[in-house]
Amino acid sequence: MSGTHTDVPSMVSASLPDPVPVEEYEQCPVTDVLRRVGDKWSILVVVLLGKRPYRFNELHRGIETISQRMLTRTLRGLEHDGLVHREVFPTNPPSVEYRLTPLGRTLLVPLSALADWAVEHGPDIAAARSAHAPHTGMTSQG
Amino acid sequence: MSGTHTDVPSMVSASLPDPVPVEEYEQCPVTDVLRRVGDKWSILVVVLLGKRPYRFNELHRGIETISQRMLTRTLRGLEHDGLVHREVFPTNPPSVEYRLTPLGRTLLVPLSALADWAVEHGPDIAAARSAHAPHTGMTSQG
DNA sequence: CAGCATCCACGTTGATACTG
DNA sequence: CAGTATCAACGTGGATGCTG
């Protein structure tokens, strides 16, 4: 890490002076954020909303494989954390628009860094995985 | 995103031309990586190993609240993806050392960006959450 | 010291049906 | 169109006991 990481670095000092107050880990903001966007759909929705506002069914069509339930839950979660804004239009056929908040937009930046890493090293991970696969085609099998 | 994001950006074009081949989302490297490090312990172990190599029980003591099971699983997962290297020393009391691979070290960089964001905006998220809390002390409750 | 096997609790995801 | 409610399946995380 950069060292900008609150008290976390001190917890992981090289000598591990104490049994370690690992309760602290629970409040680690990094892990917290990672778990927030690490679910199946959040990042996808954030990226999508990073382009422009979307209506509910528009998002639903845009992702398609997501269920209404999960789309609702994902949006609610992001809204709950102040990353997404929900605006209801009291039209006759009800319409709801979702958009990133300023906070949500700032998240797109560091997400890009990780995205670059993922694109850059995704093949490396895939290679490492297949290297451990049980049927990689090891010629020294017998 | 930066736009360096392989085919993903085209999937999320603002007009959503088609029902969208969302099968593609499954291979989204970003989501994949996020889910990889988004679990409860992976990032913690990576950060810890980013400082120096550790032995198994050393890590176990270092985190303490983690069970052997989860520590083993986490390490195996990271090893499987080529992020961590496992070296066994055939000493009489068996000893195993874990360390980041070069690939694992590169992950620390983008992780720092997200860490900075998390540290920077963690309070914002916390504030947003408590703002939605059922007992925030809304004075306009009557 | 390092690690596996088993059983269990829980959260997440998803399919389906229903509502305003 | 937007959303809720219910039930089922699965994955993750954890407690415990055993092995080399």
Q: Does any CB of chain A come closer than 8 Å to the CB of residue B130?
A: no
Q: pLDDT by residue (tens digit) across A11-41?
A: 343 444 344 444 444 567 788 888 888 888 9
CA dist., res. A85 & res. A102, Å (int): 9
Measured from Cα to the C1' atom, the residue closest to C3 is B72
A1–B38: do the CB atoms touch at under 8 Å?
Answer: no
pLDDT at position A10: 36
Q: What percentage of chain B has pLDDT greater than the value 70?
A: 74
Q: What is the pLDDT of residue A133?
A: 61
| Residue B67 pLDDT | 92
Give A-chain residues touching B107 at CB under 8 angstroms. Answer: 117, 121
DSSP chain A: --S-STTHHHHT-TT--SS--THHHHT-HHHHHHHHH-SSSHHHHHHHHTTS-EEHHHHHHHH-SS-HHHHHHHHHHHHHTTSEEEEEE--SS-EEEEEE-HHHHHHHHHHHHHHHHHHHHHHHHHHHHHHH-TTS--GGG-
Give the minimum alpha-carbon distance from A6 to chain B in angstroms, rounded to a whole number: 7
CB-defined contacts A:B, below 8 A: 216
Closest listed residue to residue A44, CA positions, set B15, B107, B117, B22:
B22
Contact check, Cβ <8 Å, B25/A14: no
Q: Are strands A95-100 and A84-89 parallel, antiparallel or unpaired?
A: antiparallel
Residue pLDDT, tens place only, B79-97: 999 999 999 998 888 999 9
Q: Inter-chain contact A1–B34, Cβ cutoff 8 Å?
A: no
Q: What is the pTM of this model?
A: 0.77
- Check whether A65 has a pLDDT greater than 70: yes
Give the phi and the psi of residue B86 in degrees, each rounded to 5: -115, 125
Q: Collect the ranges in chain B with pLDDT lower than 50.
A: 1-25, 135-142
Q: Which residues of A touch B114 (CB under 8 A)?
A: 30, 33-34, 110-111, 113-114
Residue type, B24: E
